[in-house]
């Protein structure tokens, strides 16, 4: 027997229509750095999205064509989020923190026909243009330096337009086509820390289902009474799905634009009074230092979602003391990105050590994501909280391949997908009997010493709990006797006095086995970061191999 239910496609267009009507008074507020932010209602954003769609159609953008964005988090970027997929084209968010060669590779590989760029980023786009023969139009939003504008206008084969002028005069309604929910809506590339960046095409259906999960109480659980400070970049995994989720439930959004430094973020929180925020741990470390040096009224911000890498327990406790309750989330570009959220079970007492232990995990799998652990021999391991293996996942918002092949490259490489179609995440960890995931390391970052594994993440978390340490990253380095041993690189706080022997004792007194303690240490000015704010251990390993680190043995 077939069902009697209507077959209504799950599309970004439906999220747009719902948001601009049912939640039309909710707002997108963009920080300007001035006395008054820019404020637009969802209804206004929807109307401007229609104007943008008309304008892009006038530039020759048709169904299936790719439109790139090189933009900060702001209302214009939200307009593109909805206009481009809803008209049947594909939105491609360009990661502005990638090196120029990777940016040009990605824009060329994706086939960007039009690129929308914020004026402050025009200088970043300019050197890419000679390598983008398929690019026809550049649309500049906001103020741009005269020199950069002149250089853009002089670029061969590219027509330059001003965003507001392009929208002006177009109707504020658009006859949105009825689309197949399985067609591509947006495109995001991995950060390329291993090999060339790989493209992941999110479908309308996957975005719709992912947005529903973001709004579940077991996930972020936000409503139209909330204001979310969306720090996580819109070029990174659709800003963790927050703009789409916001239009689905009316969540008000506070967009920081280019003002991502600790001081302006602290001012935004104090002035605009958000109730929720989302960003990677490095953002929160900087904000904590700012709030410690210059206390602010941040009392409204009671919920913080941290993902991208593990949040050090010391940082989580520090924000608890400020009234900001931190929740871990895990995911990746390939998972849209929501994979797990660390909401403790209702059976544990709030504020207890048991509850805190649950919050330190990466969290529970939602109904839309299945997870399993696979051992080195390909065996599936039990959910017993002890058996460690590589995490593999599958689900309706998990990619099953990568976009297009370059020179015949497979879109389903064997090192990324199992024979039965599960995504190999590259993360190593355990899963408890009640479904809580704890990641101990990346497979490429695990230190294999004398046949045993040492977790670099565990060492880093304990080191960063020391009052003299601002940042710490641990990598594996070759060792003649043991194969590999840990090298600890640390950033000292101003005026710090701890020595390496004291740091070894700090590790030992906090449960690290003696055989796991690093003998090799180096001081660095800053731990290098990837384009999405994670510790870039590939760079550290390279510096060690080149002899660029002053390593001390203790």
Distance set, CA 60 to CA 56, 136, 184, 203, 237 (Å) = 7, 9, 19, 22, 27
- Strand pairing partners for 168? none
> How many helices (H) and strands (E) would you count in the chain?
17, 27
Residue 501 exposed, middle or buried by CB count within 10 Å (0-12, 13-18, 19+): exposed
Q: Establish whether 335 is a catalytic residue.
A: no
Which of 300, 210, 298, 203 has the alpha carbon at shortest distance from 246? 210
Query: Cα(390)–Cα(443) distance, rounded to whole angstroms?
Result: 7
- Tell me the CA end-to-end span of the chain in Å, nearest whole number: 72
User: For residue 500, which phi and psi values (nearest 5 degrees)?
Assistant: -65, -35
Strands of 332-395 (E only): list them.
338-341, 363-364, 370-374, 380-381, 389-394
- Find the catalytic residue in 76, 290, 334, 471: 334
Question: Is 537 considered catalytic here?
Answer: no
Which listed residue (11, 67, 190, 440) is catalytic?
A: 190
Give catalytic status of residue 93 as yes or no: no
**At a CB cut-off of 8 Å and minimum separation 6, what does 199 contact?**
106, 109, 110, 187, 188, 189, 402, 403, 404
Mode of pairing for the β-strands spanning 520-523 and 552-553: antiparallel
Is 334 one of the catalytic residues? yes
Decide if 544 contacts 477 (C-beta within 8 A): yes
Do 98 and 124 form a contact (C-beta atoms < 8 A)?
A: no
Residue 475's CB: how many other CB atoms inside 10 A? Answer: 23
Q: Which of 44, 136, 193, 453 is catalytic?
A: 453
State the Cα–Cα distance between residues 366 and 341, nearest whole angstrom: 8
Q: Which residues lie below 8 Å from residue 321, measured CB to CB, with a gap of 6+?
A: none
Sign of CA dihedral 401, 396, 389, 473: positive
C-alpha to C-alpha distances, 470 to 293, 391, 531, nearest whole angstrom? 14, 30, 20
The bridge status of strand 27-30 relative to strand 252-255 is: parallel
- Report the SS3 class of residue 542: helix
Catalytic residue among 21, 165, 448, 452: 448
3-class state of residue 203 by DSSP:
strand
What residues act catalytically? 190, 334, 448, 453
């Amino acid at each position: 027997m077939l069902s009697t239910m209507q077959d209504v496609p799950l599309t970004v267009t439906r999220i747009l229509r719902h948001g601009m009507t049912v939640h039309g008074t909710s707002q997108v507020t963009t920080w300007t750095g001035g006395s008054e932010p820019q404020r637009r209602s969802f209804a206004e954003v929807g109307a401007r999205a229609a104007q943008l769609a008309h304008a892009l159609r006038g530039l020759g953008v048709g169904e299936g064509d790719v439109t790139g964005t090189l933009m900060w988090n702001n209302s214009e970027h939200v307009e593109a989020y909805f206009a481009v997929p809803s008209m049947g084209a594909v939105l491609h968010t360009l990661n502005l923190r990638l090196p120029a060669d990777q940016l040009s590779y990605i824009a060329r590989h994706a086939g960007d026909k039009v690129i929308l760029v914020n004026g402050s980023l025009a200088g970043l786009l300019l050197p890419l243009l000679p390598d983008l023969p398929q690019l026809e139009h550049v649309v500049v939003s906001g103020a741009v330096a005269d020199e950069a504008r002149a250089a853009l206008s002089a670029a061969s084969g590219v027509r330059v337009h001003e965003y507001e002028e392009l929208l002006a005069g177009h109707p504020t309604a658009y006859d949105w086509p009825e689309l197949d929910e399985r067609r591509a809506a947006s495109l995001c590339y991995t950060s390329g820390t291993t090999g060339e960046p790989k493209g992941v095409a999110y479908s309308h259906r996957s975005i719709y289902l992912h947005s529903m999960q973001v709004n579940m109480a077991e996930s972020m659980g936000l409503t139209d009474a909330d204001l979310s400070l969306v720090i996580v970049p819109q070029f990174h995994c659709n800003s963790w799905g927050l703009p789409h989720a916001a239009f689905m439930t009316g969540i008000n959004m506070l967009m920081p634009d280019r003002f991502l430094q600790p001081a302006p973020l602290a001012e935004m929180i104090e002035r605009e009074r958000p109730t929720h925020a989302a960003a990677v741990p490095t953002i929160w470390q900087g904000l904590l230092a700012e709030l410690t040096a210059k206390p602010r009224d941040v009392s409204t911000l009671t919920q913080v979602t941290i993902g991208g890498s593990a949040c050090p327990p010391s940082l989580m406790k520090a924000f608890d003391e400020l009234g900001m309750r931190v929740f871990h989330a895990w995911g990746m570009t390939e998972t849209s990105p929501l994979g797990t959220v660390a909401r403790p079970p209702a059976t544990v007492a709030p504020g207890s050590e048991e509850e805190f232990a649950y919050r330190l995990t990466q969290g529970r799998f939602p109904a839309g994501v299945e997870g399993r652990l696979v051992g080195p021999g390909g065996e599936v391991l039990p959910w017993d909280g002890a058996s460690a293996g590589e995490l593999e996942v599958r689900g309706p918002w998990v990619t099953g391949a990568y976009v297009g092949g370059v020179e015949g490259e497979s879109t389903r490489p064997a090192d990324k997908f199992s024979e039965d179609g599960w995504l190999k995440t590259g993360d190593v960890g355990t899963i408890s009997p009640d479904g809580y995931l704890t990641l101990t390391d990346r497979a490429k970052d695990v230190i294999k010493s004398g046949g045993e594994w040492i977790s670099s993440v565990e060492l880093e978390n304990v080191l960063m709990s020391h009052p003299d340490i601002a940042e710490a990253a641990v990598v594996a380095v070759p060792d003649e006797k043991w194969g590999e041993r840990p090298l600890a690189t640390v950033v000292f706080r101003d005026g710090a006095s701890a020595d390496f022997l004291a740091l070894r004792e700090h590790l030992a007194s906090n449960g690290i086995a003696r055989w796991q303690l690093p003998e090799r240490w180096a001081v660095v000015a800053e731990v290098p970061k990837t384009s999405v704010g994670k510790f870039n251990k590939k760079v550290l390993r390279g510096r060690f191999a080149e002899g660029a680190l002053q390593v001390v043995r203790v």
